[in-house]
Amino acid sequence: MRGGAKAAARVGRSAAGSSRSSRSAVGSGESAVGSGSTWCAVDIARIIGLPERLRTLWPHELMPRTESETTSAGVRATGVIPDDGRGITETVMLGESAGRDSKRGPDVLTAWLTGFTAELNLTRSRMTIVISSGDETAHLEVSLCDDICLAILVLHGKGFEEFEGFELLRRLEPSELGRVTEELCSLVEKDCVLTLTYLSEAKVAGMEVLHRVDGTWARPTLERDGDTITVGAENSLEANAVRVLLAAILTRLQTTTGHRP
């Protein structure tokens, strides 16, 4: 499966079982916006249009910089049940034109995006997770606030053409982050490398690397020599290596960064 069909099959509600009747993964845009179990895909033209005070809060690596990267606006939704049993949760494509002919108008979509972006100002720690096979890449930026994670996801490469010109946004409970990251790993079909970097306001920082070959995760040994980091031997890990890694890092960040009064 290639191209847009591959992406569409991967993004939707996973089939819960043959005994349940299938239903669309999305309803109306208004009812789905803000749902914690939903990735809301916002066209980059709308992100570029944020006020400057909000644009400065957006992760630098994922802030669209030129209008040539924008895509034509329009309401898009996908609710395809994955044909291989894999996939991330339901997705709402938010790209409705803000013009006068818009049936709903820009209020719901723009207000939701504005509120999401404003919450980035409450960030206590940041995590960057990149899962790449070379041909497929999932780039996830996570802002950890006191009780919630704000996730911004970009998918690009072979099979992810469906999401060109969109960034996917979602609010997560910290306890959900490991599972969600595992889901993203399943979207990259080939052998891949997961690179995770993190930094907190308490100056706690670090980098972790996992390598997946033939479905098995391993952790390479990183050796530092001055400004140079070399990769040494790999240690094989259990199947839940991604969740274990995320849980350990979250614990470290949460125990070194207290709640704001």
184-206 pLDDT, tens per residue?
A: 999 999 999 999 999 998 888 99
Do β-strands 125-132 and 91-94 pair in parallel, antiparallel, or remain unpaired? unpaired
Domain enclosing residue 62, as ranges: 3-256
Cα distance from N-terminal residue to C-terminal residue, the chain: 51
The pLDDT confidence band at residue 38, using thresholds 50, 70 and 90, is confident
**Does residue 86 fall inside a structural domain?**
yes
Q: What is the pLDDT of residue 56?
A: 94
Q: Into how many domains does the chain fold?
A: 1
Estimate the share of the chain in helix, then strand, then coil, as percent rounded to the nearest 5. Answer: 30, 30, 40
CA torsion angle 132 201 51 172 (round to 10) = 60
Q: How many CB atoms lie within 10 A of CB 230?
A: 10
**Does residue 20 fall inside a structural domain?**
yes
Max CA separation in the chain (angstroms): 60
Give percent of the chain with pLDDT exceeding 70.
66
**Does residue 59 fall inside a structural domain?**
yes
Question: For residue range 136-151, what is the model confidence (pLDDT) as tens digits?
Answer: 999 999 999 988 999 9
**Does residue 40 fall inside a structural domain?**
yes
C-alpha 178: how far from chain center:
12
Distance CA(87)–CA(80), nearest Å, equals: 10
**Does residue 150 fall inside a structural domain?**
yes
**Does residue 261 fall inside a structural domain?**
no
Of residues 158 and 110, more confidence is placed in: 158
**Does residue 171 fall inside a structural domain?**
yes
**Does residue 88 fall inside a structural domain?**
yes
Contact 190, 136 (CB under 8 A): yes
User: What is this structure's pTM?
Assistant: 0.73
For the ranges 4-8, 124-128, 136-140, 193-197, the lowest mean pLDDT is seen at: 4-8
Contact 108, 29 (CB under 8 A): yes
In angstroms, what CA-CA distances link 31 with 11, 153, 171? 19, 21, 15
In angstroms, what CA-CA distances link 247 with 135, 162, 195, 210, 228? 28, 31, 15, 15, 28
The pLDDT confidence band at residue 88, using thresholds 50, 70 and 90, is very low
The pLDDT confidence band at residue 227, using thresholds 50, 70 and 90, is confident
